[in-house]
A and B are shown apart, each in its own frame.
Chain A
Amino acid sequence: MTKEEIIRPENLVCGKPTLMNDAPMHYCPGCSHGVVHKIIAEVIEEMQMEEKTVGICPVGCAVFAYRYLDVDWQEAAHGRAPAVATAIKRLWPDRLVFTYQGDGDLACIGACETIHALNRGEKITVIFINNAIYGMTGGQMAPTTLVGMKTATCPYGRDVNLHGYPLNMTDLAVNLEGTAYVTRQSVHTVAAIRKAKRAIRKAFENSINGIGSNMVEIVSTCSAGWKTSPVKANKWMEENMFKYYHLGDLKDVGKLKD
């Protein structure tokens, strides 16, 4: 087969969603962010919500998400994305409003906004990229950093006596009455990507249908922050992260309590 034949539309097994533009991504090789961007773009397109979507990007490595996905975006101050999303969704009730946040953004500086938006049952989706580290600022300890894991600010490993315990925000979200769908996924294999995409689709549909707030955690890699290669990062994630952050749907109620 020639290259021309291979890229004929009928021979393509997957393509780039049209919502994704050609701007070169700033993410490191093997970073989970890019994969999640792509599946979000696919879901918005499949739902035909292009003209009704507003994304809220965080302060963190995804700060430039608006450069890659051609929908309207607001970049929130560090941690405040759920508050920004709350207002937009309440003021534009038929819009698909989602936040896209890292673990430092969501579980640390923005923990208050995250819990309250979810608990109010804001009809939004929170996409939570948990790479257990502060990627953007160069690999410092995050609230989600595993016990014993080494980062720039816990170079001898996270010590519970010094740094306290990892914060599992998604498990916490399950117990909030405002959440309808809470799930934890990953994007390290094709099968996992397919599952994560189905989860995002379900969360987005809930948001549009006014069913509570929805949280999709993606257990992610940060090879740069973890100071390892992309392949080894995937393996490390499977062996260590999944033990603490269990994959799967954690909550799925069709309707909130009155």
Chain B
Amino acid sequence: MNDEYVLMKGNEAIAHAAIRCGCDGYFGYPITPQSEVLETLSLLKPWETTGMVVLQAESEVAAINMLYGGGGSGKRVMTSSSSPGVALMQEGFSYMAACEIPALIVNVQRGGPGLGTIQPGQCDYYQATIGGGNGDYNVIVLAPNSVQEMADFVDEAFKLAFRYRMPAMILSDGVIGQMMERVKLPEQKPRRTEEEIYAECPWATNGINLKNRKPNFHSSLESDPLLMDKRNEALQAKYAKVKECETRAESVSCEDAEYLLVGFGSMSRIAEEAMHLLRNEGYKVGLFRPITLWPFPERELREAAKNAKGIMVCEMNAGQMINDVRLAVSCQIPCDHYGRMGGIVPDPVEVVEAMKQTTLKR
């Protein structure tokens, strides 16, 4: 086991973890606050050690299509970007979802809309969970709240992406990307051999063993509506399975909680601090943190909220995840929202005040 701790930024941890978990290729375009991912990879030169390809693409549009190509050929490929860049990638998400191509996309969010701000934000929740691309599709979304999870979720996201043959996203934000924390990096794993790739991805387009099989192809075009309907049904059946099997969440002090704070990513750390402040004052407050944003951990939330009289959803946006929370509890528990926009990271005291003015009166 590797039990050495190192101090680094979340963005750097992503780069180190990618190399260590046997990633085959990174394709990305610089944008703040995540450029350290490509910078760290360029400094570490993994093409000389593990053989991992690192390429600065000409745009996010190109980068996501490189993922379509690389993932389609069975390789573990990833990109990272921040909000405006991820917006540009949405067509590619839709194509990869349609062709069932696995890949990892990291979004270190900043405030929007438009060019917005380089300061942290969480306003791409809708884009990540209900999709900015066209068509009925989903991607798996993991939301880390520490540098350690930035590192751990890389391998985890790849596993999920390949298990279900769909894109997986790490939805982080400028706080987690930029802050330094101690982190235990994963063990170095070798990249898969051609044989291993063929065994894991018999559907991949790489020519292997063509003489003994039908040619593989990836195409999202279907001219027959009945076939298109069938393909969509198969996709939806897969998504139902992911919803059934892959929800992840963390509950803190929810057993006796009369009030619940709900937050994801960096906001969950702030909400947790607010929870402690309120507990010190005698309020029975718990914290619920969705780790998978899609699939949303509905069952886990219902369990955590079983005695709750009110829920406060904290986000660095105008109120996006709150709708999933309301749906999860079928609007049976009143839900309030505390959000800051524009790149402002709220203070726990602000959350405490907001709780006192609304949720705790319920």
Q: Which of A51, A76, A87 contacts B27 (CB 8 A)?
A: A87
Asked whether A80 and B65 contact (CB < 8 A) given A51-B209, A91-B24, the answer is yes
- The reply to whether B59 and A112 form a contact with Cβ atoms under 8 Å apart is yes
A83 proximal to B (CB < 8 A): yes
Of chain B, the residue at the smallest CB distance from A91 is: B75
Answer whether residue B174 sits at the interface, using C-beta atoms and an 8 A cutoff.
Answer: no
Chain B residue contacts of A76, Cβ below 8 A? 65, 68-69
Q: Does B95 contact A (CB under 8 A)?
A: yes
A interface majority secondary structure: helix
Q: Please, which residue of chain A has its CB at the minimum distance from the CB of B72?
A: A74
Q: Is there contact, CB below 8 Å, between B211 and A54? A: no
Q: Is A66 an interface residue (CB 8 A)?
A: yes
Q: How far is the CB of B91 from chain A (nearest CB, A)?
A: 6
Report if B345 contacts A (CB, 8 A): no
**Which A residues are CB-close (under 8 A) to B69?**
56, 74, 76, 83-88
CA distance A15 to B205 in the complex (A): 27
In this complex, the member of B59, B69, B208, B210 whose beta carbon has the largest number of chain A beta carbons within 10 angstroms is: B69
How many pairs of A and B residues are in contact by the CB < 8 Å rule? 129
A45 CB, min distance to chain B CBs, angstroms: 12
**Chain A 49-93 interface 0/1 with B at a Cβ cutoff of 8 Å (1 = within):** 011111010000001101000111111110010011111101110
In the complex, the chain A residue whose C-beta lies closest to that of B25 is: A91
Report the separation of the CA atoms of residues A70 and B27 in the bound assembly, to the nearest whole angstrom. 29
Top 6 A-B pairs, shortest CB-CB distance: A84-B69, A87-B66, A72-B205, A80-B65, A83-B65, A87-B69
**Which residues on B are within 8 Å of A, measured CB to CB?**
24-25, 27, 53, 55, 57-59, 61-63, 65-70, 72-73, 75, 77, 91-92, 95, 99, 204-211, 215-221
Binding site for B on A (CB under 8 A): 50-54, 56, 63-64, 66, 70-77, 80, 83-88, 90-92, 95, 112-113, 116
Known interface pairs A51-B208, A74-B99, A87-B65; 12 further A-B residue pairs with C-beta atoms within 8 A, sorted by A's residue number: A50-B211, A51-B209, A54-B73, A64-B221, A66-B219, A75-B221, A83-B61, A83-B63, A87-B25, A87-B68, A88-B73, A112-B62
